[in-house]
Structure 1
Amino acid sequence: MSKHMPALATRFAITATAAAAAALVGVLPNATDTAVRSTPEAAAPDAAVPDAAPEALAPEAARATPARTTPTVDLPVRHVALSAPSRAGSAAVSHAMSKLGAPYRWGAAGPSAFDCSGLVTWAYKKVGISLPRTSRAMSRVGTPVAKSALRPGDLVFFYTPVSHVGIYIGGGKVVNASQPGTPVKVSNISGMPFNSARRV
Structure 2
Amino acid sequence: MKKAVLSLLALAVILSFAAGTASANSKMDNVIADLIGTPYKYGGTTIKGFDCSGFTSYVFNQFKLDLPRSSGSQAQVGKKVDKDDLRAGDLVFFNTSGKGISHVGIYAGDGKFAHSSSSKGVIISDLKESYYAKRYVTARRVMSTETFEKYADEPSDEVLDNGGDTD
The answer to whether TM tops 0.5 is: yes
Equivalent-residue separation in structure 1 for 2:72 and 2:29 (angstroms):
20
Which ranges in structure 2 are unaligned for 5 or more consecutive residues? 1-19, 143-167
Tell me the TM-score normalised to structure 2 length: 0.64
* Larger proportion of strand: 2
Instruction: Report the count of equivalent residues.
Output: 114
Is 1:188 equivalent to 2:126 in the alignment? yes
Q: Secondary structure at the match of 2:46?
A: coil
Match of 2:102 among 158, 163, 175: 163
Corresponding position: 1:138 with 2:64: no
Question: What RMSD in Å do the two structures reach over aligned CA positions?
Answer: 1.8
Asked if the contact 1:96/1:119 (under 8 Å) is kept, the reply is no
Question: Which residue of structure 2 lines up, in the alignment, with residue 98 of structure 1?
Answer: 34
- Give the whole-Å Cα distance in 2 for the aligned partners of 1:99 and 1:140: 25
Q: By how many angstroms is 1:112 displaced? A: 2.2
1:106-145 alignment to 2 at 5 Å?
Answer: 106-145=42-81
Which is bigger in relative contact order (C-alpha 8 A, separation at least 6)?
2
Which amino acid counterpart does residue 141 of structure 2 have in structure 1? R
Shift of 1:84: 5.8
Select the structure that is richer in helix: 1
- Superposition TM-score, scaled by structure 1 size: 0.53
Q: Determine the C-alpha separation between the residues in 1 that align with 2:29 and 2:45.
A: 16
CA distance in 1: counterparts of 2:72 and 2:139, whole angstroms: 12
Change (3 A) 1:186 1:145: same
Q: Name structure 1 gaps, 5 residues minimum.
A: 1-82
Structure 2 residue identity aligned to 1:100: I
Bigger mean CA deviation after superposition, 156-165 or 119-128: 156-165
Conserved 8 A contact 1:93-1:167: no
| Percent pairwise identity | 38
